[in-house]
A = this chain, B = another copy of it.
Amino acid sequence: MNRLMELGLHTDFYQLTMMNGYFMAGKHRQQAVFDMYYRENPCGNGYCVMAGLEQALDYIHSLRFTDDDIGYLRSFGLFNDSFLQMLKTFRFSGSIKAVPEGTFIFPNEPIVQVKGSLFEVQLIETALLNIISHQTLIATKAARVVKAADGKAVLEFGSRRAQGIDAALYGARAAYIGGCVATSNVLAAKMFGIPARGTHAHSWVQSFESELEAFRMYAEHYPDNCVLLVDTYDTLRSGVPNAIIVGKELRERGYDLGGIRLDSGDIAYLSKQARKMLDEAGFHNTAIVASNNLDEYVIAHLHLQNAKVDTYGVGTHLITAEDCPSLGCVYKMVAIEKNGVFHPKIKISENTSKISTPAVKRLVRLFDKASNLAIADLIMCEEEELDESRPLEIFDPIETWKRKTLTNYTYSDLLVPMIENGVKVYSSPSLQQIQERTREQFTLFSEEVTRLTNPHIYYVDLSEKLWRLKQEMIHAQHFR
Binding site for B on A (CB under 8 A): 1, 3-18, 20-22, 24-25, 27, 30, 32, 34, 69, 72-73, 76, 78, 118, 122, 125-127, 129-131, 133-134, 137-138, 157, 159-171, 184-187, 189-190, 196-204, 206-207, 217-218, 220-222, 231-235, 264-265, 316, 320-322, 325-329, 332-333, 336, 345, 347-351, 354, 477
The reply to whether A198 and B333 contact each other, CB–CB distance below 8 Å, is no
The reply to whether A347 and B163 contact each other, CB–CB distance below 8 Å, is no
The reply to whether B5 and A1 contact each other, CB–CB distance below 8 Å, is yes
Measured CB to CB, the nearest residue on chain B to A205 is B347
Q: Which residues of B contact A32 (CB under 8 A)?
A: 203, 207
Q: Which residues of B contact A18 (CB under 8 A)?
A: 200-201, 203-204
Instruction: Pick the contact of A264: B10, B186, B199, B354 (CB < 8 A).
Output: B354
Q: How far is the CB of A198 from chain B (nearest CB, A)?
A: 3
The reply to whether A206 and B333 contact each other, CB–CB distance below 8 Å, is yes
In the bound complex, CA of A1 to CA of B69 (Å)? 12
Q: Which residues of B contact A137 (CB under 8 A)?
A: 163
A-B contact pairs, 20 of them (CB 8 A): A10-B159, A10-B169, A11-B159, A11-B187, A12-B184, A13-B186, A14-B184, A17-B222, A21-B217, A24-B221, A27-B207, A32-B207, A34-B203, A122-B203, A130-B160, A130-B162, A161-B329, A206-B336, A231-B349, A232-B347
Q: How far is the CB of A96 from chain B (nearest CB, A)?
A: 17
Q: How far is the CB of A339 from chain B (nearest CB, A)?
A: 13
The reply to whether B326 and A320 contact each other, CB–CB distance below 8 Å, is yes
Q: How far is the CB of A329 from chain B (nearest CB, A)?
A: 7
The reply to whether A186 and B11 contact each other, CB–CB distance below 8 Å, is yes
Instruction: Pick the contact of A126: B159, B333, B350 (CB < 8 A).
Output: B159
The reply to whether A25 and B221 contact each other, CB–CB distance below 8 Å, is yes
In the bound complex, CA of A101 to CA of B27 (Å)? 45
Instruction: Pick the contact of A166: B9, B133, B164, B321 (CB < 8 A).
Output: B164
In the bound complex, CA of A22 to CA of B199 (Å)? 13
The reply to whether A348 and B12 contact each other, CB–CB distance below 8 Å, is no
In the bound complex, CA of A12 to CA of B161 (Å)? 12
The reply to whether B163 and A167 contact each other, CB–CB distance below 8 Å, is yes
Q: Which residues of B contact A320 (CB under 8 A)?
A: 163, 325-326
The reply to whether A160 and B129 contact each other, CB–CB distance below 8 Å, is yes
In the bound complex, CA of A470 to CA of B201 (Å)? 21
Q: Which residues of B contact A73 (CB under 8 A)?
A: 186
In the bound complex, CA of A44 to CA of B220 (Å)? 46
